[in-house]
């Protein structure tokens, strides 16, 4: 099994149970030195897509999943790895038990553009249901769309 750090819409446990049914949620953590942003507006259906970029003094709330080998291909397909929309990247996630190596999906596009209000609402709802701190969720809800 490999460890996957989910952010944005993939924080939704119900959604992840459909995308990776053999891969249990392990817990939550933070990507320190990264920030949530949007890009690839031309690739999205309703605006820009979520991604992360390195940013000192920033952090992104994540859910950690133990991805079973049988679910890796499904996750790659869902995220458009074969279509060159997203790529996998190794990161270190800070948890209460210490730092853990994990992989994330990062957009293969330039930062810029705004997400749709619906998409941003789904991201904020997913963060809230995953247990993100209230101030983090409120910052998501206040982002421009």
- How large is the average pLDDT for residues 36-54? 88
pTM: 0.93
- Per-residue confidence band for 41, with pLDDT thresholds at 50, 70 and 90: confident
| 3-state SS track over 6-72 | ECHHHHCHHHHHHHCCCCCEEEEEEEEEEEEEEECCCCCCCCCEEEEEEEEEEEEEEEEEEECHHHH
Check whether 110 is labelled as a binding-site residue: no
Active-site residue among 72, 79, 122, 128? 79
79 is catalytic: yes
- Per-residue confidence band for 109, with pLDDT thresholds at 50, 70 and 90: confident
Q: Where are the domains of the chain?
A: 2-139
CATH number for region 2-139:
3.10.490.10
pLDDT at 54 over 90: yes
pLDDT at 43 over 90: no
């Amino acid at each position: 099994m490999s460890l996957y750090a989910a952010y944005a819409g993939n924080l939704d446990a119900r959604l992840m149970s459909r995308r990776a049914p053999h891969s249990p949620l392990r817990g939550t953590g933070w990507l320190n030195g990264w920030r949530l942003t949007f890009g690839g507006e031309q690739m999205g259906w309703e605006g820009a897509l979520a991604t992360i970029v390195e940013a000192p003094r920033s952090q992104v709330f994540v859910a950690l999943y133990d991805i079973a080998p049988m679910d890796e291909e499904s996750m790659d397909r869902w995220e458009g790895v074969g279509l060159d929309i997203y790529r996998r990247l190794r990161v270190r996630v800070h948890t209460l038990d210490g730092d853990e190596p994990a992989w994330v999906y990062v957009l293969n596009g330039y930062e810029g553009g705004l997400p749709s209000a619906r998409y941003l609402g789904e991201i904020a709802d997913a963060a809230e249901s995953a247990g993100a701190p209230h101030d983090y969720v409120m910052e998501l809800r206040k982002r421009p769309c």
